[in-house]
């Protein structure tokens, strides 16, 4: 019997959205104010190669790469020296960019979370990129859906990315549920489905974009919309 349901965030609860353009613009403008005039294409290259969550610089890493480390590498790439106060100002701005224009919710999310929370324990397990968990929670609260999650687990708080078992372990420990009585919903086979499977949880591949499965990782269930999730869980 299912007791607990955990959800991924990006492309499951939130629609995917990139904030690279305003972040690069802020960084460029800030560096100019400090007397550093950087070629735009060079700045974009350094930022995208190093700062993006799954950039080539860190692609093989399973532990969380924090923004201060990424920023140091970007500044090294640009051959720019800044004070600790300047670096803190940059991080504060780029980490909170999401608040200015929050990503949209996936269709039906609020309704489904409300319905499921009446019968099941609900958790959120998310890898974070540049936007840390503390900012994400502000946006979830603004959408009035944070209240449905009894626990939120973010990679920047744990120190590892999914599929590492520690994220799933923390969520279920807080929810007081066993893996065999829990199910995880997410859009990525190699992080969500694999991580849940390896930890002994059932799993649902949320594939609303109708992608072809490009992996030997086989989900227990596959759905195209939120309503299907409810039907699957209630029949388990």
- Looking at the domain 4-16+103-234, which fold is it? Rossmann fold (3.40.50)
Mean pLDDT for 186-191 is 94
Q: Taking 60 as the threshold, does the pLDDT of residue 164 lie above it?
A: yes
- Residue 126 buriedness (CB in 10 A; 0-12 / 13-18 / 19+): buried
How far apart are alpha carbons 129 and 51 in whole angstroms?
A: 9
The full DSSP string for 16-29 is P---HHHHHHHHHH
pTM here? 0.93
Residue showing tokens 């004070």: 83
| The dihedral formed by the CA atoms of 151, 153, 154 and 156, expressed in degrees to the nearest 10 | 110
How far apart are alpha carbons 186 and 210 in whole angstroms?
A: 14
Q: What is the pLDDT at residue 59?
A: 44
Instruction: Report the alpha-carbon angle 18-109-94, nearest 5.
Output: 25
pLDDT, tens digit (0-9, with 9 covering 90-100), for 80-111:
999 999 999 999 999 999 999 999 999 999 99
The mean pLDDT value of the chain amounts to: 93
Q: What is the pLDDT at residue 53?
A: 58
Q: Is 145 helix (H, G, I), strand (E, B) or coil?
A: coil
């Amino acid at each position: 019997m299912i007791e607990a349901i955990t959800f991924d965030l990006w492309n499951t609860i939130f629609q995917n959205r990139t904030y690279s353009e305003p972040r690069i613009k802020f960084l460029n403008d800030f560096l100019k104010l400090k007397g550093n005039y950087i070629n735009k294409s060079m700045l974009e290259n350094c930022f995208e190669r190093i700062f993006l969550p799954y950039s080539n610089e860190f692609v093989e890493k399973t532990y969380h790469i924090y923004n201060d480390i990424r920023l140091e590498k970007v500044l090294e790439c640009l051959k720019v020296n800044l004070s600790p106060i300047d670096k803190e100002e940059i991080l504060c701005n780029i980490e909170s960019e999401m608040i200015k224009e929050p990503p949209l919710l996936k269709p039906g999310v609020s309704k489904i979370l409300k319905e499921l929370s009446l019968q099941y324990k609900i958790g959120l397990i998310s890898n974070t990129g540049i936007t840390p968990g503390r900012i994400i929670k502000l946006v979830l609260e603004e959408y009035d859906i944070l209240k449905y999650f009894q626990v939120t687990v973010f990679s920047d708080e744990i120190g590892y990315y999914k599929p590492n078992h520690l994220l799933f372990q923390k969520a279920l420990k807080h929810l007081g549920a066993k893996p065999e009585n829990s199910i995880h919903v997410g859009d990525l086979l190699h992080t969500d489905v694999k991580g849940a499977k390896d930890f002994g949880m059932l799993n649902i591949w949320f594939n609303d974009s109708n992608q072809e499965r490009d992996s030997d990782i086989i989900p227990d269930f596959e759905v195209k919309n939120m309503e299907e999730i409810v039907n699957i869980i209630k029949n388990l």
